[in-house]
Amino acid sequence: MSAPPALPRWADVGLIPLINVLAALIVSGVVVTIIGENPFEAMMVMIKGAFVYKGSLGYTLYYATNFIFTGLAVAVAFHAMLFNIGGEGQAYLGGLGAGLVCLMFDSMLPALVLIPLAIMASAGFGAIWGAIPGYLQAKRGSHIVITTIMFNFLAASIMVWLLAGRLKAPGQMSPETRSFSPNAELPFIHDIANALGMEMARSPLNLSFVVALLACVGVWILIWRSRLGYAIRATGHSAGAAQYAGIPVSTIIIITMAISGGLAGMMAINEILGVQHRTILGFTSGYGFTGIAVALMGRNHPVGIVLASLLFGALYQGGAELDFEFSTITREMVLLIQGLIILFSGGLAYMFNRPLAHFLGFLLTPRHAGGGRRG
């Protein structure tokens, strides 16, 4: 049998991701038990930390914003069957782009011009950092997985060199730029809410969350309703068919990677314009890789990605709470859970398909004799 057992679509899209998360949580629970803590207690702390405490939902959504961007990036590339592992580097360079625009123009331009410009710059820099591996794959046959991994390291080196060198704020020791002026800041949601008369706890959640949601809509329209999206999906499913159809496969690969890189680059606006208000070292902190998990769980569809981003946002925020409340558990626990989720939903992907298919078959097939023969 060559294909994994067929599951009804709702099970494949809805149930399996849930089962994967459950499996990951169970294994993590075992690890927690081994190190001597109560996994159920840990779970409660995580849930409260993510949703219940004051400001926690805001934090969760703030994290989710990052994942939506990086998740969309991976998903778009995946529709062309391209593995963009370079979200980290693309986001990092996005931060460079936004930073440069703000550093150069924040005293000259009003917020309404400056911020869109910075957003475009972050997308643009990310797009370039994605398009180069895309070009190398399309025109020179270099495997995109390896080149994007290399480009992550190259981006890190460049950023360290710049932030400790030419871009460093004068008179400071830490490798980061000076703070931007207030008109380069994306407003916090809690500030907007308070201005509108609503009570809302402080959190880093800012307007970039809205941009992320708009990006979701945009990606959906692009992939499933546009001619470019058709060309991207055709290329992803069958390069031979795309070629036959006169679709310029190389160009599509490069364009797709540019869009993907641009989306990853936009992750920077959350951190740089929304929270830090300056470009700092390492602000991507693994979010690029989480984007891969999010895209996998979300089945490369914007709706799934939003849901998966919420899950991971909750994990990160809950993980911070875990770190705070338990002396023996740190944020690395979240890395463990994340790794397990990626493992179950990507590597061990078909582990649960067969048992589930059998189970559903048992549950759903009416019992009568002679089922299954071809007429």
Partner 1 sequence: MADLWLQFLLTIDATLRVATPLILCAMAGIFSEKSGIIDISLEGKMLMSAFAAAAVATLTSSALAGLVTAIGVSVLLGLLHGLASITLRGNQVISGLAINILASGLTVTIGIAMFKQGGQTPNLSRAERFRPIELPFAEQIGNLPLIGPIYREVISGHNILVWVALAAVLFTAFILTRTRFGLRLRAVGEKPEALDSAGVSVAKTRYLALIVAGVLCGMAGAYLSTAHGSGFVREMTAGKGYIALAAMIFGKWQPRGALLACLLFGFLEAVASRLQGVDVPLIGEAPVDLILALPYLLTVILLAGFVGKAMPPRAIGEPYVKER
Partner 2 sequence: MTDASQMANGGSTSPLAIELSAINKSFGDVHANRDVNLKVVSGHIHGIIGENGAGKSTLVSILYGFYAADGGLISVNGQITTIRNSADAIGKGIGMVHQHFMLVPNFTVLENVMLGHEGSLSIEASAQKARNVLNKLSEDFGLTVDSDMIVENLPVGLQQRVEILKALFRGAEILILDEPTGVLTPQETEQLFDILRALREQGVTILLITHKLKEIMAITDDVSVMRDGEMVAHLKTAQTSPAELAELMVGRKVLLEVDHTPAKPGVPVLQAENLCLTTANGIDHLKDISLTLREGEIVGVAGVSGNGQSELLDVLSGITTPTSGSFRVGTNEITTQRPSDPAQLRRLGVAHVPEDRHKCGIILPFSAAESMILGYSGTDEQNQGWWLSPSALEQNCADRMHGFDIRPPLPSLASANFSGGNQQKIVLAREISTQPKLLLVGQPTRGVDIGAIEFIHKQLIALRNEGCAILLVSVELDEIMSLSDRILVMNNGQMVGELAREEADEQQLGLMMAGIGAEDGITTSQMRAGS
* DSSP 3-state of 176: strand
Name residue 85's amino acid: I
Which range of residues in 9-17, 104-112, 151-159, 177-185 is near partner 1 by CB under 8 A? 151-159
Contacts with partner 1 in 32-61 (CB under 8 A)?
34-36
Q: Which of 153, 159, 154 is nearest to 94 (CA)?
A: 159
Indicate the SS3 state at residue 188. strand
In the list 165, 246, 370, 371, the residue contacting partner 2 (rule: CB under 8 A) is 246
Our finding on whether 248 is near partner 2 (CB under 8 A) is: yes
The two three-digit tokens of residue 290, written as one number:
């989480």
The residue (of 126 and 229) whose beta carbon lies closer to partner 2 is 229
From CA 201, how far away is CA 205, in angstroms rounded? 10
Q: Which of residues 275-314 bind partner 2 (CB under 8 A)?
A: none
From residue 170, how far is each of 102, 175, 178, 183, 233 by CA, in Å? 16, 10, 8, 21, 48
Phi-psi region for residue 257, left (φ > 0), alpha (ψ -120 to 50) or beta? Answer: alpha
What's the N-to-C CA distance of the chain in angstroms? 22
Out of 111, 213, 339, 356, the residue judged to bind partner 1 by CB under 8 A: 339
218 binds partner 2 (CB under 8 A): no
340 touches partner 1 by CB under 8 A: yes
* Residue 343 binds which entry of partner 2, partner 1, none, CB below 5-8 Å type-dependent: partner 1
**247 contacts partner 2 (rule: CB under 8 A):** yes
Beta pairing partners, 176: 280
Confirm or reject binding of residue 355 to partner 1 (CB under 8 A). Answer: no
Residue 241 contacts partner 1 per CB under 8 A: no
245 binds partner 2 (CB under 8 A): yes
Q: Give the residue with the Cβ less far from partner 2, 158 or 360.
A: 360
Q: Are 187 and 207 in contact (CB under 8 A)?
A: yes
Residue 368 binding partner per list partner 1, partner 2, none, with a CB distance cut-off of 5 to 8 Å that depends on partner kind: none
The candidate with the shortest Cα–Cα distance to 168, out of 182, 157, 179, is: 179
Structure tokens at 96: 């460079």
Evaluate whether 256 touches 280 at the Cβ level (below 8 Å).
Answer: no
Which of partner 2, partner 1, none does residue 329 bind to, with CB < 5 to 8 Å depending on kind?
partner 1
C-beta closer to partner 2: residue 167 or 295:
295
Decide if 74 contacts 292 (C-beta within 8 A). yes
Which of 30, 217, 348, 365 binds partner 1 (CB under 8 A)? It is 348
Task: Rule CB under 8 A: choose which of 118, 216, 296, 306 binds partner 1.
Answer: 296
Choose between 109 and 231: whose C-beta lies nearer to partner 2: 231
Q: Name which position in 141, 366, 370, 375 contacts partner 1 (CB under 8 A).
A: 141
DSSP 234-262: HHHH-HHHHHHTT--HHHHHHHHHHHHHH
> Which pair of tokens denotes residue 83?
């593995």
Least distance between partner 2 and beta carbon 372 (Å): 8
Nearer to partner 1, 184 or 329 (CB): 329
What, of partner 1, partner 2, none, does residue 230 touch, CB below 5 to 8 Å by kind? partner 2
Name the region of 197 (left: φ>0; alpha: ψ -120 to 50; beta: rest): left
- Judged by CB under 8 A, does residue 364 bind partner 1? no
- Closest approach, Cβ 107 to partner 1, in A, equals 30
CA 131, 147, 217, 184 torsion: positive or negative? negative
- State which of residues 237, 303, 355, 358 lies at the interface with partner 2 (CB under 8 A): 237
CA distance 322 to 348: 28
Q: Which residues bind partner 1 (CB under 8 A)?
A: 2, 4, 31, 34-36, 83, 85, 136, 140-143, 145-147, 149-151, 153-154, 157-158, 160-161, 164, 289, 292, 296, 328-330, 332-340, 342-343, 346-351
